[in-house]
Structure 1
């Protein structure tokens, strides 16, 4: 008989997908302590940790059963990412974290201000940065270029104009369209920004 602790995660995942329920039990048992500790370190509550842990494996099972798993050989990091996202969802849904209201004066970067952040706010802030970076990449190149120069490199519109070879008005226009498109992308992807 093969010792279960020598079987690679990727083999167990394949076996489970083929119908071997025991393979999933081995995977859960193998990573239970590490995942549970990770979740608990974020939520600091045993009951919530249990809920998130179970929700994580419900999501894992659904994904595997649908055949949508493509993280070959990287099972644990994938499961940790699912758990991490579920922890963020928990904090977003809790009343302690009000959703940022999208208004006409909305400035996407105003929600990224700092201050004294506890662990949960830090996690959410990191997720927002990640979400925003992904959205920026969806912008047309000209808009992305101006937005990155202005927001990440703190360049003036005069400097942007000189660096891109366009007029200041064109640079301003591209920035305006970039922010309008960012707002549309936030709504399209249903990304929740917190203040």
Structure 2
């Protein structure tokens, strides 16, 4: 696996398409945390997210073999778009599109690994994640989705706009209003504590 560390995503894709399966494994390991966290945050169920993660990579393999990926140095955003669309399609088929963003069955903290930190640090960090989850759950669905794609998936505003099918200005606005709403919630929580 380490022999692929110096290669770019595009080089790994080319190697994979030329028959080198370990190159694809290196791509999966390189981006798995970011993609899985995005899926978990979108579907809010860890078990379902694990199933989706596997299905998304099957879709990626099929898309690569079908020549649907263009060599534009944007492999991870392309994969995030596939994952996002897969999640949305699943819930549309189940006719529960609005339920994607209504409850959170899995804690963000549960999807993170804290092995290198002290128990006290893990406890404090876990509590912060729970507080952030609660604040995000109070956001409108579009704003919540915008934060997930921007800060957890790491997409820039153009990639975000393409993924969701909105203008760049709308993407900017959703993130801006989401952050403003989070700040208001933090300020309200601080005033109740005093």
Relative to the length of structure 1, the TM-score reads 0.50
Larger radius of gyration: 1
Relative to the length of structure 2, the TM-score reads 0.50
